[in-house]
């Protein structure tokens, strides 16, 4: 079975603070793919990053960084020097090699950045 857990339901930070969004996944597949999406108030899910299970290298993209650790089945997302425009709901998702293109989403973390 595939499962994604985002234990943080809501987070509030003050602008310029760093914030980490947690994502823990469960899968029996040896090959799988992990994703992060951002859903602003407009409702459209915006793709942020994709990682496959064989690539544990961390990634940095501007103020965003991702830490993938297979040993703890986690794929955490850090925003450095947060901005008001980062306020959104963030979803972590999992796709297994044996489940087609079905994405299993976590319940999302609502991030509010206070100016």
Partner 1 sequence: KAGVTQTPRYLIKTRGQQVTLSCSPISGHRSVSWYQQTPGQGLQFLFEYFSETQRNKGNFPGRFSGRQFSNSRSEMNVSTLELGDSALYLCASSLGGRGNEQFFGPGTRLTVL
| Selected range binding partner 1 among 13-21, 57-65, 78-86, 90-98, rule: CB under 8 A | 90-98
Q: How far is the CB of 43 from partner 1 (least distance, A)?
A: 5
CA separation for the pair 62, 80 (Å, rounded): 9
Q: For 59-75, b where at least 16 C-beta lie within 10 A, e where not — what string?
A: eeeeebbbebeeeebbb
- Return phi, psi of residue 100, to 5°: 60, -145
Q: How far is the CB of 30 from partner 1 (least distance, A)?
A: 13
Q: How far is the CB of 57 from partner 1 (least distance, A)?
A: 16
Q: According to CB under 8 A, which residues from 24 to 83 bind partner 1?
A: 31-33, 35, 37, 42-47, 50, 52
| Interface residue list for partner 1 (CB under 8 A) | 31-33, 35, 37, 42-47, 50, 52, 91, 95, 97, 99-108
């Amino acid at each position: 079975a595939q499962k994604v857990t985002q234990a943080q339901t809501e987070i509030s930070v003050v602008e310029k603070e760093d914030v980490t969004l947690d994502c823990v996944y469960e899968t029996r597949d040896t090959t799988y793919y992990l994703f992060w999406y951002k859903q602003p108030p407009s409702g459209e899910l915006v793709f942020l990053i994709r990682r496959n299970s064989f690539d544990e290298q961390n990634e940095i993209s501007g103020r965003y960084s991702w830490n993938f650790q297979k040993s703890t089945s986690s794929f955490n997302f850090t925003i450095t020097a947060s901005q008001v425009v980062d306020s959104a709901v963030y979803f972590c998702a999992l796709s297994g090699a044996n489940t087609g293109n079905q994405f299993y989403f976590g319940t999302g973390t609502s991030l509010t950045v206070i100016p």
